[in-house]
Structure 1
């Protein structure tokens, strides 16, 4: 049968051309996406930037490590702890580096550093001189030598004179004198050393031994002077306490007054390790993760679309060859032989197409990486992988997809009876077989049940693409399988307007679609998939973004919101000026982190928290509380959400953002729709700066309060907005952030589905040649035939669009049910502009793919 399969392919190559192209493109797409995934994993990290010229860098070990009965548990700290100043004195020639937010008023986000640290990159003067006085600075951009500028730091805004311009570094920088930088930021963030690493490690070991001796002596003294111990120290567990976890290697000394927590645990970085301290490190990792996520999602959709397309095209090809299979049965071919022949055809096509796609697919790796990079979804410095593994995987996947896609078609081919060879006309079998009913209904039921379970048990999980996208796939597959059921009523409904036209078009166009429901369903399937993917994913993203924005906006009672113009946050001077405005209640919100040991001490969890002023919190926000009261929120208490799984009044041992331990009593349980996971007082914010401030005007406040608010933010790199204006920015920011990656995935997937649509229509063209020739014999002009073809193509597109609308509506309704639990009623929104663009593209391609073959048909092309 393999020889017959080969002969069939040679004779009927046009019937398999669409399948070949679809498989080749699918294999190429999977190979390219696999290379993108490999590139994001195997590309070397960007070389050191901030300390490129320093051979050795000493930095604090910014990790919290706990010892539990199940072993050590660790997590990165959210708050830098700094190095012991004694280390700088023990390492001769070490350059002390302090890195802190310092931004020119109205300028881009920047950091402040001591001028002596400029040599670490290195950054050199291009004009002017080095700073020598406390009011002198060197900048990398944003000002000219001799000008006086306002510089905003954590303390506030102050005037400085620009005395020099330095070359650009890894980020915009304002250089101060070493003394001024030490006063602005006492914390030592790193030591840059131009000495052998072995000498540095020896000096650190000696310093550690000295520090341990001093700690032992201070511990003995503290044991006789309990009166000097503060609350935080009292909460530390002793060595004989059966605590769930004990801090080790944290190097955190108790915080005394305003002095920074000092780390005694350090790391010595050389070579590529120095890049761990670069400012782009976190964004680079995030961009890598984005590239991984997009490539993974797109590859999953590529596999789904490949199975969908191949199965539909093979089923369509088998339907076209009913009499051929019947003739084989007539001459003695068994059911198994016919099926093996179909499998053989699929394997031959799949092997050739997958090999072609696997070889050519990696050529698209660089363009895809450039696309993702332009959208900010991948680092620009990623190098395309040279691994051959993605090509092998794509080849094997292509062959497997072909075999899976042809299973149903082969089964149908084997059921063809020999008597069907006697038919003079091709009569389409039943549109819906029991197996198709079961498969379509089963997929639909699975999707509906999954949506119901998500809405009831995990509504927040429904907003995750990893949860929502599989449901979309199930709905599209179910709609494709059940499509023949609705072809007749939908075709008659859509063709009703044609009845008002003169001529036979109103009768012929719907009759052609209804007479062959399977063919109509097969040609409409790519349109269904293309439009449904775009509408459901974009609509779901829009609804999810609107819900998240509403959850953040609706609880706000404040009249104004003050936001920083960069990531540094609001400075202390600005906060004081805001609180001094007559008739205004001001609430600053400072994001921080808390660490908890959960799962019987097996997991160290980093939890987000917000530090707020309890006295004004409920004035600015409507905070849902299910038990307890926020009035009890103090420095030794905490309010938590249900995810903490703790009870009211329970004492909870926590580790703050810098690794220092504290025990807090739960005095309020927040509702499930709370915007914060936990609330603490500003004492626990440490050195973090507020991310925003809510301003609520008291009744009877003077009209000058808003003007005073504008004056307060001037020169502090902040802006004041009304609640309505701020709400618009929150919605726009959420939408733009979430849709970039989705648009990238859709752009890759739609190219595949568009090719599938053209292939299916071209495969159907030979079957229609007889009908078109008969119309010519009956007296129809070429123009009339082409108009008939265009009308029929548009009708098929309309059928696909209507099916896509049904699948989209069901998917968005299921998502709506889940979002309803989170934020109440939300608008079911579909971004119509891109969806209409996709529909228009499908319509144009459908017309071209049907008109071009029909334009070559002559009147002699009579069906046999």
Structure 2
């Protein structure tokens, strides 16, 4: 049968080209997502500033001893004394401490500062002047100096650590846009004297890097379980330059998996449809083979062979550009701020093999679905079956469809019961399951929708409607094949789009409900000292002022894992018992918090937030009483024990734990207060108040109102939106291509039918009207099924995120998607019909 399959491919190029296109595009997406998945798993980030150091020692950002990998969001720093221990290790030629700090040039924006010794690790060389050797001296990167119009010997004002400092430019460094100061100055400007970020280890000539790395681990107390600093080699050294790298690449893993799954699902529907149409184009040939003695197994093998020949060719061809497609996706995520630009794309043999295997499996499944109908026809019925499609459903398909409906219902319940921010992670697979269910039950549902529309269509379109509904009723399999891509495109577009807008609305509502401030004070110097809050509070016209320091932390269970990362050290064992709970932290000054924030104590009092205390969300305080000690980890991994002084009610999934600002600030990146929330006295002149607030004696102060703060929050939400819109664009774009492909092929295979209609007197216009009505029926059925998929996906998500069955987002999105599906279906069908009707009745037939 393989030989027959090869010969058949030569004489039915149209159908097979459509299948080949669907297979190629699907394999391209799936294999490209495989490369993205490997990139996330490997998390390679080749070092840039530390490229000259074969070994880098840095604080461990991983929360070890947990089932789910958790990452400390704030940098875990090292004691400067650690450099002496590392320097004493045999085989170490030199150790170079690295200290980095955020800063801003008064007139040219944000920069990053480093200690001059770390320039040796890049390596950066002096292009002009000399190295900084004491206070008040600075070296600028040549690129920065050129942009700012600065030169050696000049002076520059640097906004850093909440203050403005003037420096003399003593030199320019080649190949960088950063700034460098003397080692002692770097620690002071970073606000952490005696602390360093990392240590670059340079090896003696002939020393074995692996052996020295193991000796360094022993010297600094690093263990396989994660206690102590992290000793990095190879591409892992890039993690020392960007602590957020681990968390960013971890996001790629579920993203790539979901992306590839959506593409594989779309591929199954697309290929099943195009292969099914291709088989129906040669129903008479298949019927003749059955009539002359071909067995069901032989027909099935022939169809499977045809599809697999196409699939292997299409997948092999797709494997060549797939890595470039994966790189393009990664660049898009980098551009959207989803992952760091330091992440290196990695696509080895695994994504090619796994992605190609998944693509071939999807094609095989689609081919089996398409072959099943042709293979199970009895020989005596074969020719009649070719003329009139009487078999259009099976018990197996019905059972599988009902099972998928049950799975979709279970996931819908899970979505409705999940935390708001997590609802999208459950709703996306729910959309997949609902799509599969409706795809399996497509013939039943399409027939039911067609029956419901028969009378209105006949009433509105006369004879064209009579012919169109009769065709749809007689050719259920063809109708279903045409409906499926419309359903797929509409359902995925509506589900993915409104999932994103719903999540964005949920974040916006949670943010707005938590804010009561009229004004927000920030600083280009990275923040302001904590005592500035009291200064602001004493400005005439200020009713209340509160510090706001955002971070994240972890509530440890009663039997917590041993400390690691930035904690106290010690042995640690993997734990499968109670796990820590991650939640948002916010450091506040309790005085005035009732006027500037929406936080209200359900029990206890927020005014008691002083010293080592915490106010937990009510849900996370279950099992604890006021006065109990809560074991927690702060954002840099530091372990602490805080006294519970209050509980706070909040929307599920948007809860925040409150701690004193003085407790949290030293465990954040700058140690400063990034925002001061201010409520003004009624009737206060806002212009005069703004002038008074920006001149309280701290540099770079900037004032914005509540709307400006909300806009900044929306910019942060846009990072997550980038992922969703990119997935939407690629997967729905593929579904739309399949829609056009399938409609064109479904129309072209009716050449004989159109020819017969022309011979009995039908005009081109009448056939076009009939096809326009048929296309409208197909679009209506597909859109109705797509709306059902979207409804079953979005209603639970809306209940979880917004507390409403109505999803967030503007109504015009629904209108645009429905109009696009309807327009594409009708236009594609009419265009294909016009092409098929070219020539006279004899040539058409």
Structure-1-length-normalised TM-score: 0.78
Question: Which position in structure 1 is the counterpart of 2:588?
Answer: 612
Deviation at 1:20, TM superposition (A): 4.2
1:56, distance to aligned residue in structure 2 (A): 6.9
Partner of 1:636: 612
1:601 aligns with 2:569: no
Q: Which secondary structure state, in structure 1, belongs to the residue aligned with residue 109 of structure 2?
A: coil
Separation in 1, partners of 2:501, 2:28: 31
CA positional deviation for 1:304: 1.3
What's the offset of the Cα at 1:525? Answer: 1.4
Aligned counterpart, 2:45: 45
Q: From 724, 734, 749, give the equivalent of 2:731.
A: 749
- In structure 1, which of residues 397, 421, 430 is the aligned counterpart of residue 358 of structure 2? 397
Aligned pair 1:360/2:318, yes or no? Answer: yes
In structure 2, the residue matched to 1:772 is 754
Give the drift of 1:533. Answer: 1.3
Among 687, 691, 702, the residue aligned to 1:708: 691
Tell me which moved more, 152-161 or 527-536: 152-161
Report the counterpart of residue 645 of structure 2 in structure 1.
667
CA contact (8 A) 1:593 1:656 kept: yes
What is residue 300 of structure 1 aligned with on the other side?
A: 261
Q: 1:369, CA displacement in angstroms?
A: 0.7
Q: Which moved more, 1:38-47 or 1:514-523?
A: 38-47
* C-alpha deviation, 1:559, in angstroms: 1.1
The 1:617/1:196 distance shift into structure 2, 3 A limit, reads farther
Structure 2 residue 782 is the aligned partner of structure 1 residue 800: yes
**Kept in 2: contact 1:5–1:342 (CA 8 A):** no
Q: Deviations over 1:251-290 (max 9, x none)?
A: xxxxxxxxxxxxxx66777776654432xx3354455445
Question: What's the Cα RMSD here?
Answer: 4.5
Is 1:681 the counterpart of 2:680? The answer is no
The answer for the alignment partner of 1:447 in structure 2 is 408
Cα–Cα, structure 1 residues 344 and 417, in superposed 2: closer, same or farther, change >3 Å? closer
1:176 pairs with 157, 178, 181, which one? Answer: 181
Which entry has the higher C-alpha Rg, 1 or 2?
Answer: 1
Distance (Å, rounded) in 2 between the aligned partners of 1:297 and 1:847: 32
**Cα deviation 1:407-462 (Å, max 9, x = unaligned):** 4544433543445456498333266655555544443343234213431x324365
Flag the 1:803–1:106 CA change in 2: closer, same or farther, 3 A.
farther
Shift in Å at residue 354 of structure 1? 2.2
Q: 1:124 to 1:617 in 2, by over 3 A?
A: same
Matched, 1:761 2:743: yes
2:159 to 132, 139, 152: 152
Residues 84-140 of structure 1: CA deviation (Å, up to 9, x unaligned):
459569989866653223222354332333445444433344456555774443333
1:350 equivalenced with 2:308 (yes/no): yes
Tell me whether 689-698 or 318-327 shows the greater mean CA deviation.
318-327
Task: Mark the CA change 1:477 to 1:52 in structure 2 (over 3 Å): closer, same or farther.
Answer: closer
- The 1:546/1:193 distance shift into structure 2, 3 A limit, reads same
Other-structure match for 1:696:
679
CA distance in 1, matches of 2:788, 2:805: 24
In structure 2, the CA distance between the partners of 1:97 and 1:759, relative to structure 1 (3 Å rule), is closer
Task: Extract unaligned runs of 5+ from structure 1.
Answer: 213-247, 251-264
2:808 alignment counterpart: 827
How many equivalent pairs are there?
Answer: 791
**What is the aligned counterpart of 1:582 among 536, 540, 544?**
540
Partner in structure 2 of residue 485 of structure 1: 447
1:773–1:373 Cα change, 3 Å: same
Alignment of 1:90-105 (within 5 A): 97-105=98-106
Shift in alpha-carbon separation, 1:581–1:79, aligned structure 2, 3 A: farther
Q: Contact 1:98–1:181 at 8 Å: present in 2 too?
A: yes
* Structure 2: gaps of 5 or more residues: 562-574
Equivalent residues of 1:18, 1:313 under 8 A apart: yes
Aligned mates of 1:773, 1:815 — CA distance in 2: 50
SS of corresponding position for 2:195: coil
- The alignment's TM-score, normalised by the length of structure 2, stands at 0.80
- What is the match of residue 231 of structure 1? none
Equivalent residues of 1:104, 1:150 under 8 A apart: yes
CA distance in 2: counterparts of 1:513 and 1:730, whole angstroms: 51
Deviates more, 1:404-413 or 1:543-552: 404-413
Distance in structure 1 (CA, Å) of the matches to 2:117 and 2:679: 45
Deviation sequence 1:299-334 (CA, Å, 0-9, x none): 11122122223334444455566665555555455x
Corresponding position: 1:560 with 2:519? yes
2:377 corresponds, among 408, 416, 419, to 416
C-alpha separation between the residues in 1 aligned to 2:363 and 2:61?
50
Counterpart mapping for 1:86-485 below 5 A: 97-127=98-128, 130-131=131-132, 134-140=135-141, 141=144, 142=148, 144-145=150-151, 149-169=156-176, 172-184=177-189, 185=191, 186-189=193-196, 190=198, 196=204, 274-278=237-241, 281-286=242-247, 288-316=249-277, 327-328=288-289, 330-332=291-293, 337-376=295-334, 387-421=348-382, 423=384, 426-429=387-390, 436-455=397-416, 457-460=417-420, 463-465=423-425, 467-480=426-439, 481-482=441-442, 483-485=445-447
Displacement of 1:294 after TM fit?
A: 3.7
Tell me whether 413-422 or 341-350 shows the greater mean CA deviation: 413-422
How far apart, in 2, do the equivalents of 1:496 and 1:292 lie?
51
130-139 or 99-108, which moves further after superposition? 130-139
